[in-house]
Amino acid sequence: MNDMQLPFVVKDASHATQGFLILGIEAGEPASEVAAFVRQYQLTFPIWLDPHGLALESFKNYNLPSSYVVDREGIIRLAWSGAISPEMLEKYVTPLVENEK
């Protein structure tokens, strides 16, 4: 996960009470480094370790960071390659969350 976009993602975790889940997938870093990163940023959402890059293969995207919005039926509704901003989250994610209520 890109530490430049992390504050925005953590802030947007507030949507969790509305059925929105943030999940981090770490592709390739050792578990000890991921654990240190989680502690440093006090992350409260799950981080899946993907040491063999299977998630990257499944998404057919090898660009990092990458962000996806997956709906309750498992359909990818939005995808980004590169850093995201609070404005992008507000513009694209908030309407999806509100429509799911």
In the structure, what pLDDT confidence band is assigned to residue 36 with cuts at 50, 70 and 90?
very high
How many CA atoms are closer than 13 Å to the CA of 40, on its beta-carbon side? 10
Dihedral pair phi/psi, residue 32, rounded to 5°: -65, -40
CATH number of domain containing 48: 3.40.30.10
Percent of the chain with pLDDT over 90: 5
Looking at the structure of the chain, the number of domains it has is: 1
Task: Give the residue numbers spanning the domain of 56.
Answer: 6-99
Q: Which of 15, 61, 6, 63 is nearest to 38 (CA)?
A: 6
**84 inside domain:** yes
**39 inside domain:** yes
In the structure, what pLDDT confidence band is assigned to residue 6 with cuts at 50, 70 and 90?
low
- List residues bridging with 70 in a β-sheet: 76
**1 inside domain:** no
**50 inside domain:** yes
What are the angstrom distances between the C-alpha of 39 and each of 43, 55, 59, 82? 7, 23, 27, 23
In the structure, what pLDDT confidence band is assigned to residue 31 with cuts at 50, 70 and 90?
very high
Bridge-based pairing of strands 24-26 and 47-49 is parallel
Q: Are 41 and 24 in contact (CB under 8 A)?
A: no
Over residues 52-72, the mean pLDDT reads 83
- Single pTM value for the model: 0.66
